[in-house]
Structure 1
């Protein structure tokens, strides 16, 4: 099982704070450092959230880390045109020496789109656009050198841009698609994804079984797709430490998804997720950008227990 850090850069979410946490992740032995792609906090009333562009920060981390995988969970497809996103990810992949993964989704947070003047069409159109985006991104990456690539869709058109964006990884960086939808999200994942993210733990068995069934219906072997889950965590070695870290968790449904306790409690939950969801990758969802010791504890006390 791969263990990764997933940062929701809330308070004090500057690049320096993000870099410190990424370096702690690398030192801890965890497999990767991923970040959300948001411009507002998940609580729209939280005016302390400091927006940072996900791919700009990942470009910096690509040059200031050496081992960990880097990526988004997930980039909102509404934020960037597909040709631009394919080029950006290819450049960051080259900057990292081939350590980048692209998590991408249809986008869901209307409030941040309105706040920053980004268009936010209805759900059906967002998924139609995502399907075209995935076709364009993989087409630009996978078309052999010297061969033209064009796409004429309802929402996006690409007309033989000449020299295509080239990634360090072949055939291309892993694609991560995930969510809780019953049909369109798993269908797109079965078609395009290297990893299907099952979102949060509640209902994970049903989502995994549904995804496996859709894979089989479409001719994809479900065993060829990694399965991952997001796990909010507040881990400590003393009651006071656990309580302090629990305070960083957001209120509402996400807190109910969290594992709160000692390293052995986290290990027990990981075993359950492996059994329930067939999970091989877990993203520890972290909210405090200034608590690098939390990541180090997970690496020192949880990782060896696997």
Structure 2
């Protein structure tokens, strides 16, 4: 996998902490003010110290004008897909087309079950995600005649009216790590949204994981290059380099540009709630990455998507 030529996206990954109540909102507003493209929030509905992520997304949408919004990633086992589809479409319409849909198959099953969700095996959760994507796309597809009908093992939808259609083609971004879910991402999703700290072999993992996505896309007759690859990242700004994303902004820029050019990653989302880091990431790292990647694309003739 090499550079796919996608537009670069830079964003923040904010903790939806309840205390103080407006801190997450303020970080979202900061993210917009300093020029980031995207603000995202993790989603753990069973966590009492966190805001409900969808409520937070809706509130942030009303407090911002330009920045795009997404869960990172929404907990599908506790968010019924037909309702989620309509909620996303409504918020997209109200926000002027600024919503993306990051979703996950579920991880913390004790907590999910404690909140009334159904405990699933890893394989079942992947099948459920596949069915959920069918439900969501069916709700959004107002050009097809007839009602939405999905006769799945986990989600059964019958005689459901289509709509509303979102303001733009909302991207369905899947958080995935294992081969089967990666292949599903290639087969059904618009984007891939993993976290660097969870990659088993760090950046080196991207080669094999991208291959699974590409295989899934090809078997479904899709162009693998159509799938956006994003990455949640963490690091530290320091005067001297001490490893990947531990160093000066110029070092970060070189390293992130390399990940784009070598692995096709076009979205970088900074994990953390440090306002200073968000400002530096937006003001110094993002422009430098764009410049390095643009120069290489001009040299190599990479087609821009």
| TM-score normalised by structure 1 residue count | 0.82
Deviation for aligned residue 1:115: 4.7
2:78 counterpart SS class: coil
CA contact (8 A) 1:14 1:50 kept: no
Query: C-alpha distance in 2, partners of 1:125/1:14?
Result: 38
TM-superposed deviation, 1:26? 0.5
- Alignment of 1:186 onto 2:193: no
User: 1:111 Cα shift?
Assistant: 4.0
How far is 1:9 from its partner? 3.4
Cα pair 1:145 1:164 within 8 Å, conserved: no
For residue 96 of structure 1, what is the aligned residue in structure 2? Answer: 95
Call closer, same or farther: CA 1:29–1:127 in 2, change over 3 Å: same
**Deviations along 1:171-199, whole A, 9 cap, x unmatched?**
x311101311112x122222222212244
1:273 is the counterpart of 2:259: yes
* 1:121 paired residue number: 120
Pick aligned residue for 2:22 from 9, 16, 21: 16
| Secondary structure, aligned partner of 2:160 | coil
Specify every segment of 5 or more residues in structure 1 that has no aligned partner in the other structure, as ranges: 42-48, 243-255
Q: 1:32 aligns with which of 31, 35, 38?
A: 38
Q: Which residue pairs with 2:67 in the alignment?
A: 68
Aligned to 2:229: 227
Structure 1 residues 267 and 13, CA gap change in structure 2 (3 angstroms): farther
Number of residue pairs aligned between Structure 1 and Structure 2: 276
2:13 paired with 1:6: yes
- Quote the offset at 1:158 in angstroms: 1.5
* Cα separation, 2, equivalents of 1:188 and 1:73: 18
What secondary structure is seen at the aligned counterpart in 1 of 2:234? strand
- Encode CA deviations 1:136-176: one digit per residue, 9 max, x unaligned: 1101101327632222222222222336333111xx31110
Greater alpha carbon shift after TM alignment, 85-94 vs 260-269: 260-269
TM-fit CA distance, 1:56: 0.7
Relative to structure 1, is the Cα distance of residues 220 and 13 closer, same or farther in structure 2, using a 3 angstrom cutoff? farther
Shift of 1:121: 1.7
1:246 match: none
**Would you say 1:209 and 2:211 are equivalent positions?**
yes
Q: Distance in 2 between matches of 1:209 and 1:122?
A: 24
Distance in 2, matches of 1:221 and 1:130, equals 21
- Contact 1:204/1:276 (CA < 8 Å) preserved in 2? no
TM-score by length of 2: 0.82
Cα distance in 2 for partners of 1:97, 1:2 equals 18
Q: Which aligned segments of 4 or more residues in structure 1 are displaced greater than 6 angstroms?
A: none
CA RMSD across the alignment: 2.5
Cα separation, 2, equivalents of 1:7 and 1:105: 17
**Secondary structure at 1:303's aligned position in 2?**
helix
Aligned to 2:100, the other structure's residue is in SS state strand
